Structure 1
């Protein structure tokens, strides 16, 4: 894996946005895999700025989000569908028909997961996948486990993830305990991957990803198997790294 150590969160966000725009310029109909959470927000803000400055065109781009809470209505302010539209989609010229986010209110979760994988395959796979990471090493909602599901699936969230996401809700009791997430095989099939890591609370897991063994107990460690992964990390998250 390649790594870029940035001075701060803003620099990290700018570099990530530049990589996304570079991909879209090279291939205007790129298929982007997108992430939510607090870490990518700066990247989305920069992409919006570049679009408004006439430096970006998303009209042909297709997007597939990594995950969505289950069950949750898409208009719920805590849903990832709401997050993506508020923080990115409604500010740029992306075709709404090209936006794909797992349906968190689907009656049949298994069918929803199967159809989501098919749509990704029919689009030609992910050209560039943007990832964040949880403090326990999860990517998407692929939680640490003795075995990982390779395909899009319904998963139960770990207590660490529930606690980490509770800051977005009025109380921890409101945090959904399940989610639909793209599986590790689909993530690893992406042609390019960028992993964004920010903050001191991610420093320990950052070190384990780069210096530790590949293990399903740290799902992000599987990115070591990918031929074109770039970690973009701020100094706070990188301070424990062994050179």
Structure 2
């Protein structure tokens, strides 16, 4: 495990983008696992900036997103399809057919989860998986108590996750209660993992994940068993433990 301390969010975003850029340059047809939420926005912005300068080429890159809300379509402004287009895809030369996100409108959960697992397998697995971490230790939408052996599955979001995500919606009542999420087994099969965290509200989660016991009660704790994890976090997020 490698830990890079960032001075602030902008520094964090630049450091994370450097790691992703290196993967793209070393393997132009890499498969990148993508995350959403507030944490990666600066990272994506930096990648777009470097692409526009001619430093990066996404033409052969494939992306596989961690998750998507159930019950909302790709044109909904709160969907992760829309998020990825707005923050990255529409600004670089990635081919739409090489971007993969769960179908939130598919009502047959078993069918969609099997399809998404096959997407991951058909791409040859994930070279670099970008992760954030929830305040309760979740990664993707794998909430506390989720089996470490799960692959893509339907998730009932916890109250704390719904409350945290309500900042993106007009009211908490509009936040979807269910999602499709890549499972912890999928995440752990990635060749490299890059976890980013910013702010004091992530400090306890990081401390429990990397200095506490490995337990489904803290889903991110399983990352202690992965042989190639990089953490990029600011001083506040790293403040609860001696790194």
SS in 1 for 2:236: helix
1:142-168 Cα deviation digits (max 9, x unpaired): 000163451100110000000000111
TM-score w.r.t. the length of structure 2 is: 0.98
Match of 1:67 in 2: 67
The gaps in structure 2 that reach 5 residues or longer are none
Match of 2:33 in 1: 33
C-alpha distance in 1, partners of 2:194/2:22? 13
The gaps in structure 1 that reach 5 residues or longer are none
Match of 1:178 in 2: 178
1:31-66 Cα deviation digits (max 9, x unpaired): 000000000000000000000000000000000000
Asked if 1 retains the 8 angstrom alpha-carbon contact of 2:137 and 2:205, the reply is: yes
C-alpha distance in 1, partners of 2:96/2:167? 29
C-alpha distance in 2, partners of 1:134/1:81? 20
Asked if 2 retains the 8 angstrom alpha-carbon contact of 1:34 and 1:131, the reply is: yes
Residue 239 of structure 1 pairs with residue 236 of structure 2: no
SS in 2 for 1:214: coil
Which consecutive segments of 4 or more residues in structure 1 shift more than 3 A?
A: 146-149
SS in 2 for 1:236: coil
Tell me the matched-pair count. Answer: 243
Asked if 1 retains the 8 angstrom alpha-carbon contact of 2:148 and 2:222, the reply is: no
**Per the alignment, do residues 61 and 139 of structure 1 end up closer, same or farther by CA in structure 2, a change over 3 Å counting?**
same
1:87-133 Cα deviation digits (max 9, x unpaired): 11000000000000000001312111101101110110000000001
Match of 1:147 in 2: 147
CA RMSD of aligned residues (A): 0.9
TM-score w.r.t. the length of structure 1 is: 0.98
1:67-103 Cα deviation digits (max 9, x unpaired): 0000111110000110000011000000000000000
